[in-house]
Amino acid sequence: MRYSSPVLLLVSAAALSGCSEGVLDPKGPVAAAERLILFDSLGIMLAIVIPTVLATLAVAYWFRASNRRAGYQPEFAYSGRLELLVWSIPLMTVLLVGSVAWIGAYDLDPPKPIPSSAKPVMVQVASLDWKWLFVYPEEGVASVNHLTIPVGTPVSFELTSSGVMNSFFVPQLAGQIYTMAGMVTHLNLQADHSGTYRGMSANFSGEGFADMHFNVDAVTPEAFAEWVASTRSSGPVLDAQAYAALVKPSKAVAPFTYRSIAPGLFAGILSAGLQPDDGLCVGYPKSMRAER
């Protein structure tokens, strides 16, 4: 019991060693802001929790039955002042952390576009069993289990699923967002440093789930243009037939690209899970509204 504080220090030290990847090593503005919120709230909460734990240990130890020096106050069962303190400390803490939560929820709302002078790259994402399809509608190419994006440029995602629920997640760049059939979710992120970052599905989707990770290559805008050009020059075409073959369940799919995409492909994936006159489409606010 009395080594929970040193343990915590050890853990933090050890955690810092895990700093080279994941949430604690952001490479873009969204992830960096999220990490800041994490540290701020952790600090505020630790300021309450550590003294409480130390006080608990101190009180339990001092007032142990064998300690005759401790004052025995068998009638001490109420104190108005203590009650006030005891209710107000958690309440004020919550108000403080709560305002951080509120601001963060709005500032970092996934569909919120990232302010930038660069034109955002659009990527349409579909989670399949058990791989990721990334469609670049403006560039006219697509890739499977690999994402290439330009550095310093906002990337705007529209996400859906061909079937079961998944969650698109690149920890070093942004938070995650669910992908659901017949519905579109949105996410915006940006990589500020070149590098390769790990992406994954963060919602269990079946047998091949563990292999649904992919690499995100953040490259210079010139390298990105080169990548687009070379992708357009070779590889299969993503038409309805190719998609029908792709959507069949497969695991641990090696990354590959498509040199062109049939028009309306993403809309087709979306509407496969959607009926034409679905009232859900009309009645709900934008975050849950399926879009064409």
Partner 1 sequence: MNIAVGVDDVHEGELVNTSEAGPAPKRIVVSYGFWIFLLSDIVMFSALFAGYAALARATAGGPTGSQLFNQQTVAMETAFLLLSSYSCGLMSLAINSRGYFGTFLGAGVTFLLGAAFLSLELREFATMIAIGATPQRSAFLSAFFTLVGCHGLHVAVGLSWLVLMMIQLAMRGFSPVVERRLHCFSLFWHALDIIWVLIFTVVYLMGVVP
Partner 2 sequence: MNLLGKLSWSAIPVHQPIIMGTVACIGVIILAALAWVTAKGSWLYLWREWLTSVDHKRIGVMYLVLAMLMLVRGFADGIMMRTQQAVAAGGAQGYLPPEHFDQIFSAHGTIMIFFVAMPLVIGLMNFAVPMQLGVRDVAFPTMNSISLWLTASGVLLTNVSLAIGEFAKTGWVAYPPLSELQFSPGVGVDYYLWSLQIAGIGTLLSGVNFVTTILKLRAPGMGYMRMPVFCWTALATNLLIVAAFPVLTALFAMLLLDRYLGFHFFTVNAGGNAMMYVNLFWIWGHPEVYILALPAFGIFSEVSATFSGKPLFGYRSMVGATMAICVLSYTVWLHHFFTMGASASVNAFFGITSMLIAVPTGVKIFNWLFTMYGGRVRFTVPVLWTVGFMVTFVFGGLTGVLLALPAVDWQVHNSVFLVAHFHHVIIPSVLFGCMAGYNYWFPKAFGFKLDERWGAASFWCWFIGFHLAFMPLYVVGLMGMTRRLQHYDVLSWQPWLLAAEAGAVVILAGIVCQIVQLVVSIRAREQLRDTTGDPWNGRTLEWSTASPPPAWNFAMLPHVGEIDAFWAKKQRVHARQERSVQRREYEPIEVPKNSPTGFVTAFFAVLTGFALIWHIWWMAGVGLLGAAVTLLCFMFRVEDEVEIPAEQVALFDQSHPVEISL
Q: Which residues bind partner 1 (CB under 8 A)?
A: 275-280, 282-283
**Which entry of partner 1, partner 2, none binds 90, CB below 5 to 8 A by partner kind?**
partner 2
- CA separation, residue 155 to residues 119, 215, 222, 260 (Å): 9, 15, 16, 20
As measured in angstroms, the least distance from the Cβ of 134 to partner 2 is 19
φ, ψ for residue 148, nearest 5 deg = -115, 130
Minimum distance, C-beta of residue 201 to partner 2, in the bound complex (Å): 7
Q: How far is the CB of 289 from partner 1 (least distance, A)?
A: 12
The entry of partner 2, partner 1, none near residue 201 (CB within 5 to 8 angstroms by kind) is: partner 2
**Opening angle at CA 263, ends 262 and 267, nearest 5:** 110
Of 210 and 229, which has the nearer Cβ to partner 2? 210
Asked whether the beta carbons of 184 and 117 are under 8 A apart, the reply is no
Q: Judged by CB, which is closer to partner 1: 15, or 280?
A: 280
Q: Which is nearer to partner 2, 150 or 199 (CB)?
A: 199
**Could you give the strand order of the β-sheet that contains 195-201, starting from the edge strand earlier in sequence?**
146-150, 214-219, 195-201, 166-169, 177-179
**Which residue, 44 or 281, has its beta carbon nearer to partner 1?**
281
Residue 80 or 234 having the CB closest to partner 2: 80
Start-to-end CA span in the chain (Å): 57
> How far apart are the C-alpha atoms of 22 and 118, rounded to whole Å?
26
Q: What is the spatial distance between Cα 66 and Cα 73, in angstroms, rounded to a whole number?
A: 15
The partner in contact with residue 78, picked from partner 1, partner 2, none with C-beta cut-offs of 5 to 8 angstroms by kind, is: partner 2
User: With CB cut-offs between 5 and 8 Å by kind, which of partner 2, partner 1, none does residue 60 bind?
Assistant: partner 2
Q: Of partner 2, partner 1, none, which one does residue 282 interact with (CB within 5 to 8 Å by kind)? A: partner 1
Residue 49 interaction partner, one of partner 2, partner 1, none, beta carbon < 5-8 Å per kind = partner 2
- The nearest distance, CB 282 to partner 1, in angstroms, is 7
Minimum distance of partner 1 from residue 263's CB (angstroms): 24
CB of 164 to partner 2, least distance (A): 4
Phi, psi of 111 (to 5 degrees): -75, -5
Nearer to partner 1, 45 or 280 (CB): 280
The nearer residue to partner 1, 13 or 282, going by C-beta atoms, is 282
Helix (H) / strand (E) element for 191: namely none
Quick count: other Cβ atoms within 10 Å of Cβ 27?
21
- Closest approach of Cβ 275 to partner 1, in Å? 4
Nearest to 211 by CA among 131, 144, 134: 131
